Amino acid sequence: MYYNDNTFIYLNGNIVKAAEAKIDLYSETLHYGYGVFEGIRSYKMANAETKIFKGIEHFNRLKNSAHALNLPYEWNSEELIAGTYEVLKLNNLQDAYIRPLVYAPANMSFSVNNESFIVIQTWQMQPFLGEKLLNVMTSSFERPNANAFKIQAKATGHYVNSILASQEAKAKGFDEALLKDMEGYVAEAPGANVFIEKKGKLVTPQLGNILPGITRATVFEICDELNIPVEEKQITLAELQEADSAFFCGTAAEIIGIQSLDNIPFKKHWADSIGSIIQKEYKDLVTGKKKKEKFEPIN
Ligand code: PMP
């Protein structure tokens, strides 16, 4: 599904066959979840070119995540982006998911390493997820305690929490989970940020206990351009339940509307929500078909 005998990857400055590459089974990343990664998308643009969306932002976040975890990081973002384009071309991919992973050498001692390794893998992704709406459940899992982890980093170990929450939601018949933070405020989904709409305005959890999403930042840019009011603040579960509409956003999820929370539908139809305006705009942005319309706030 992810690769075959003809798939190439970028590995520590070289382009090699995925099926022939090796990883050290004594790697600290494998044993302790001590590594950092990214999730990036490339799109086939309106002019048929392949474009990595916000590549610099993603590779810079990778570097910041590595620094947050004391992982040595010597690469520069431009070089890695060039390597990624090369891999995409060799793998004949345009609408792709791109997964850089910085991993540690063999080390069971918890001491700081003097080297790290990087792999960049790519695989086919559907062009745009589109209009499917999600039935979401409030998770029994909380997001990791921000005093226990560098929660702003995209670290491999954090994703055990995401996996548990997502599996719980799916086992109960929902599409996805919504997690609260350790203080009980709305935080994020296992792999996406959340926005709610209330009285013509968007609200999203402030930074601190969530991953600072690049799509979240893009939603702010779209709001700025379209004059859509948006605020960052702590959101209670009651505020989420009383919202007019809500959506998740993330590189893989893109902008995806939430139909119901714990089986209770949101008041507004997705088609009438601010989220659906953002969704269209995001799609046009990533595929290079940007068109501008101003938004009239509703009071
Ligand atoms: N929160 C979590 C926990 C995530 O894994 C992701 C996906 N990277 C996001 C939010 C959204 O981040 P981004 O928009 O940068 O993909």
Q: Taking 80 as the threshold, does the pLDDT of residue 109 lie above it?
A: yes
CA of 132 to the centre of ligand 1 (A): 19
pLDDT band at 290 (very low <50, low <70, confident <90, very high): confident
Q: Taking 90 as the threshold, does the pLDDT of residue 299 lie above it?
A: no
Q: Taking 70 as the threshold, does the pLDDT of residue 244 lie above it?
A: yes
Q: Strand, coil or helix: what is 29?
A: helix
Nearest CA to ligand 1 atom 4: 191
Q: What is the pTM of this model?
A: 0.96
Across the range 29-52, mean pLDDT stands at 97
Among 36, 179, 211, 219, name the best residue to mutate to test ligand 1's pocket (greatest count of ligand atoms within 8 A of Cβ).
211
Query: Per residue in 157-191, is it b (16+ CB within 10 Å) or e — as a string?
Result: bbeebbebbbebbeeeebbbbbbbbeeebbbbbbb
Q: How far is CA 145 from CA 38, 150, 213, 261, 295, in A?
A: 21, 9, 18, 24, 38
Give pLDDT, residue 291: 55
What is the CATH topology of the domain spanning 134-286? D-amino Acid Aminotransferase; Chain A, domain 2 (3.20.10)
Residues touching ligand 1 (Cβ under 6 Å) are 39, 162, 188, 191-193, 211, 213-216, 250-251
CATH 3.20.10.10 maps onto the chain at 134-286
Tokens 């070119």: give the residue.
Answer: 49
> pLDDT tens digits for 63-105?
999 999 999 999 999 999 999 999 999 999 999 999 999 999 9
Across the range 55-67, mean pLDDT stands at 98
Nearest CA to ligand 1 atom 5: 191
CATH 3.30.470.10 maps onto the chain at 8-123
Q: Taking 80 as the threshold, does the pLDDT of residue 55 lie above it?
A: yes
Give pLDDT, residue 64: 98
Q: Strand, coil or helix: what is 211?
A: coil
CA of 166 to the centre of ligand 1 (A): 14
> pLDDT tens digits for 134-187?
999 999 999 999 999 999 999 999 999 999 999 999 999 999 999 999 999 999
pLDDT band at 130 (very low <50, low <70, confident <90, very high): low
Give pLDDT, residue 200: 97
Nearest CA to ligand 1 atom 1: 192
Nearest CA to ligand 1 atom 2: 191
Give pLDDT, residue 294: 54
Give the CATH number of domain 8-123; options: 3.30.470.10, 3.40.630.30, 3.10.129.10, 3.30.230.10.
3.30.470.10
